[in-house]
Every structure is written in structure tokens, then in C-alpha cells.
């Protein structure tokens, strides 16, 4: 938490803001690259980069002696679904859509992302716990 008079953000807030910035940069950069690279290849390259980054993060945590959580057997189907839809189908469909959409229509759709997330968050709130 932030102490009184302190200007530092909590670690989780900084990470969330960084992720939001990188996610926001993803769409315009992908639109620029789609002129030269097919959508399936570009989606694969994005997720290859993500995998390399997460692998480096995990190795850094291991070198510092921090334990990571083990995957429970009951969570395997959920993880498989998240990988299939969020890691395979979602990026490919996003990039195919970007390739076939004009900039002004795309800007309108992206501008509605925050209200869409607010409505979905109110309809199905997630539980946030401190571990």
C-alpha cells in the first residue's frame, strides 16, 4: 500500500499500468506491420515474444529464490481453454480483423474498449486477493 506522503505506487499498480501501455501500443503497431506480415505469422511472433519475456521473468524469480505456484490438476482444462481462446484464436482473429478494417472504424471500436470492460467488470466482477 501507499504510505501517507509517499509518491510511490504499489508494485501491482505499476505492473498493471505497464501492461495497459504495452497492450495499447499493440494494436497500432500491429496495424502497421500487417502490410508486410501475414496475420497468422504476426500473431505467432507476438506470442513468441511474450513467451520469451515470461520465461526470462520466471528464470529471474528462480535466481532470486522465489517460489512460483504449482498448477493444480483441476485448473488444467481452464488453462487449456485460456491458451486456446486467448493465446491462439483471439490474436489471430484480432489481426485478421485489423487487416480488413479501415483506420477510422478501428479507432471507434478501440475507443469503446474502456466502457466495454467497465460493463463486463460490473456484470462479472473478479475476486482480487492478496497472497
Alpha carbons 55 and 118: distance in angstroms, whole number? 31
User: Which of 14-28, 39-53, 70-84, 99-113 comes out lowest in average pLDDT?
Assistant: 99-113
C-alpha cell at 28: 497500432
Burial (CB count within 10 angstroms: exposed 0-12, middle 13-18, buried 19+), residue 27: middle
This prediction's pTM: 0.57
Alpha carbons 96 and 51: distance in angstroms, whole number? 22
Mean pLDDT, residues 57-78 taken together: 85
C-alpha cell at 13: 499498480
pLDDT exceeds cutoff 60 at 74: yes
Hey, is 69 helix, strand or coil?
coil
Calculate what percentage of the chain has a pLDDT beyond 70. Answer: 82
pLDDT bucket at 30, cuts 50 / 70 / 90: confident
| Arithmetic mean of pLDDT over the chain | 79
pLDDT exceeds cutoff 60 at 52: yes
Residue with cell 526470462: 56
User: Which of 20-24, 97-101, 115-119 comes out lowest in average pLDDT?
Assistant: 115-119
* pLDDT at residue 120, rounded to an integer: 72
Mean pLDDT, residues 60-80 taken together: 85
Q: How many CB atoms lie within 10 A of CB 94?
A: 17
Amino acid at each position: 500500500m501507499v504510505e501517507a506522503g509517499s509518491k510511490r505506487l504499489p508494485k501491482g499498480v505499476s505492473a498493471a499500468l505497464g501492461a495497459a501501455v504495452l497492450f495499447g501500443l499493440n494494436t497500432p503497431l500491429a496495424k502497421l506491420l500487417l502490410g508486410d506480415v501475414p496475420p497468422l505469422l504476426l500473431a505467432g511472433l507476438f506470442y513468441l515474444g511474450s513467451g520469451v519475456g515470461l520465461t526470462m521473468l520466471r528464470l529471474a524469480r528462480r535466481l532470486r529464490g522465489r517460489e512460483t505456484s504449482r498448477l493444480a490438476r483441476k485448473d488444467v482444462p481452464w488453462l487449456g481453454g485460456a491458451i486456446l481462446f486467448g493465446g491462439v484464436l483471439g490474436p489471430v482473429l484480432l489481426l485478421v480483423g485489423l487487416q480488413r478494417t479501415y483506420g477510422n472504424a478501428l479507432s471507434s471500436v478501440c475507443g469503446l474498449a474502456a466502457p466495454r470492460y467497465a460493463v463486463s467488470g460490473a456484470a462479472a466482477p473478479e475476486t482480487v486477493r492478496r497472497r
